[in-house]
Amino acid sequence: MKPSLLAGYAVAMLLAARTALAAPLPALPDAVARPDAKETEAGLWMIFDNFENDVKNSPLRVRDPALNSYVRDVICKIAASTCGSLRVYIVNDPSFNASAAPNGMVIVNTGLLLRSENEAQLAFVLGHEITHFLLRHSWNRFDSARQTSDILAFFSLGVAAAGVAFRTNLSGLASTASTIASGAMFAYNRNQEREADAGGFELAVKAGYDPRQGAVLWANVDDEEKADPDRREPDLFFATHPTDDERIRNMSKMADEVATVGQPSDPSIDRLASAVQAYRGAWLDQELNRGHLFQSIYLIQRLLKSEPKSGELQFYLGEAYRRRNGQGDLQNAVTAYRASISDGGTPVSAYRGLGIAALKTGDHDAAREAFKDYLSLAPAANDKAMVQSYLARIP
């Protein structure tokens, strides 16, 4: 079924799918009015206005007009008439996350853009966050804490959860006070998260996106987390959120209510790919620097399923194996670097990585050849002296 027909079909089926999960979303307003200055909620908006100013001026903010325009287009497709009340900020953060504040600030992490396989998956996450905004979840949490005299505990939670909507920490972006306050507002409870999941599904499907992609997205997230044998169990903060397994079941159930037989075409896949292509290498560098190399290897291998001949992805797979340096990893790194060089479009650093990995495996001939190729292709490299020292030590 074409996306436009799918959207019409979904409208008739969504309420049945959502009944057991959450109350229906309110009608999308043309604009979200700022609270009157005399109202308590106006103080909450002021907190986020200050936080937004910090984010706006942060060196971590991605300012590229084309990329920001693309993400805003997706948000406007989902939010429809409410789009004018939302402002988008893309942030260089490798974690999987987006967040929407009560004043209309929407933060999108580059880690989310890297992990989204297509625009539909991105739309489900953004729809989730827009639902938090539409249902005023931050204000509800603040007001509840205020009325139960639990406001100090509420704000102290922000120290651990600062800037969190899914799995991130924005403490590097803002002043301590703003970060603590914003973190507390993003610490939604389990029912609010369920409402946001269901509302995000509704918004994305009404916009014509493939209803199956929500479950696919969360299955990918779950598999990536489970790829790390050293992963920790959810802490007290995340213990209040639905598990990935629950989210996958709920998303699948809702998709079954609206999906037709066969997979709807998704022309937006190429649109997302072209929007992020220029940045993917830098984002993969950030991902490797997170230090969760089991997860990084899983992520890159998943991306390679869609682009098996990507020299860029093979290079970063080689880097991940080389850095992890577990049993068999150096040989896997050599294989990945060779594939990267063979497939083309690889950074020249692939030759240096191949040389280092081959040297550590004892393949001196391969190491010597790779280092010479690197110096030939990058004669003015900053690490030229280091590579020359490697060459000098090869028997």
Enumerate residues 6+ apart whose C-beta is below 8 A from 294: 227, 228, 229, 230, 324
pLDDT more than 70, % of the chain: 70
**CATH number, position 350:** 1.25.40.10
252 residue type, one letter: S
Do 123 and 208 have their domain in common? yes
Structure tokens at 278: 């220029």
* Range in 249-258, 262-271, 347-356, 385-394 with the lowest mean pLDDT: 262-271
Of residues 12 and 253, the one with the higher pLDDT is 253
Do 52 and 157 have their domain in common? yes
- β partners of residue 106: 88, 100
Q: Residue 1 above 70 pLDDT?
A: no
What mean pLDDT comes out for the span 257-261?
62
Do 252 and 313 have their domain in common? no
Do 357 and 241 have their domain in common? no
pLDDT of residue 38: 63
pLDDT of residue 301: 98
Do 104 and 8 have their domain in common? yes
Are the C-beta atoms of 258 and 201 separated by less than 8 Å? no
381 residue type, one letter: A
Which helix (H) or strand (E) is 284 found in, with range? helix 280-289
Which helix (H) or strand (E) is 174 found in, with range? none
pLDDT of residue 213: 93
- β partners of residue 87: 105
Single out the residue in 258, 292, 321 at which a domain terminates: 258
Instruction: Provide the Cα torsion 189, 200, 33, 60; round to 10°.
Output: 80
Residue range(s) defining the domain that contains residue 333: 307-393
SS3 state of residue 156: helix
Q: Residue 109 above 70 pLDDT?
A: yes
Sign of the CA dihedral running 196, 163, 269, 4: positive
Do 218 and 332 have their domain in common? no
pLDDT of residue 238: 45
pLDDT more than 90, % of the chain: 52
| Angstrom distance (rounded) from CA 95 to CA 57 | 20
Structure tokens at 333: 């790194």
Structural domain contains residue 270: no
The mean pLDDT value of the chain amounts to 80
Q: Residue 152 above 70 pLDDT?
A: no
Of residues 57 and 243, the one with the higher pLDDT is 57
Structural domain contains residue 9: yes
Do 254 and 312 have their domain in common? no
Enumerate residues 6+ apart whose C-beta is below 8 A from 101: 48, 51, 52, 107, 133, 138, 182, 185, 186
Q: pLDDT band at 237, cuts 50/70/90?
A: very low
Number of structural domains found in the chain:
2
Residue whose C-alpha is closest to residue 185's, from 93, 174, 71, 91: 174
Do 12 and 83 have their domain in common? yes
Are the C-beta atoms of 108 and 122 separated by less than 8 Å? no
Q: How far is CA 88 from each of CA 61, 72, 129, 204, 236, rounded to the nearest angstrom?
A: 11, 6, 12, 18, 30
Do 31 and 132 have their domain in common? yes
Do 31 and 162 have their domain in common? yes
pTM of the model: 0.82
What mean pLDDT comes out for the span 241-261?
76
Report the b/e string of 148-169 with b at 16+ CB within 10 A: eeeeeebbebbeebbbbbbbbb
Q: Residue 359 above 70 pLDDT?
A: yes
Do 103 and 240 have their domain in common? yes
Q: pLDDT band at 355, cuts 50/70/90?
A: very high
| Angstrom distance (rounded) from CA 112 to CA 75 | 14
Do 327 and 244 have their domain in common? no
Of residues 221 and 37, the one with the higher pLDDT is 221
Structural domain contains residue 266: no
Structural domain contains residue 38: yes
Structure tokens at 211: 């209803």
Structural domain contains residue 207: yes
pLDDT of residue 102: 85
Are the C-beta atoms of 167 and 95 separated by less than 8 Å? yes
